[in-house]
Structure 1
Amino acid sequence: MPTVVIREDESFESALRRFKKQCEKAGVLSELRKREHYEKPSVRRKKKAMAARKKLLKRLKLFQQE
């Protein structure tokens, strides 16, 4: 979990900015969105397979254009 200690000469806004950057780097928000609702393992596998297929088709399309 990201933590920020406010320095003596630091404003709250800059500390908040640092905290947001740390959260983004640690992937806190994406993890929160992923765990917001329970997703069955079968649905998770389907989504993963669809994402892989989409990525593959995108690559094939890119190579065909060249």
Structure 2
Amino acid sequence: MTQIFVGENEGIESALRRFKREVSKAGIFQDMKKHRHFETPEQKRKRKEVARHRQRKRSSHRS
């Protein structure tokens, strides 16, 4: 769980910006998007296959 502590003289905009940064670092938005809709086992398999293909493609360009 992400949380921040607002300083005594800190504005709400600054605290909100820090909170958004922490949430982004923790990967919460990505996780929310991933679990937003039900994914069938076939869809999950295809998504992982595409991710593997992308990763292989990236690693072959580095060599």
Normalising by structure 1, report the TM-score.
Answer: 0.77
| Structure 1: tracts of 5 or more residues without a match | none
Q: Which runs of 4+ in 1 moved over 4 A?
A: none
Greater C-alpha Rg: 1
Q: Distance in 1 between matches of 2:3 and 2:11?
A: 16
Matches for 1:1-66 after TM superposition, within 5 Å: 1-60=1-60, 62=61, 63=63
What is the aligned-residue identity percentage?
Answer: 35
How many pairs align? Answer: 62
Q: Distance in 1 between matches of 2:16 and 2:58?
A: 38
Query: What RMSD, in angstroms, separates the aligned Cα atoms of the two structures?
Result: 1.5
Q: Distance in 2 between matches of 1:18 and 1:12?
A: 10
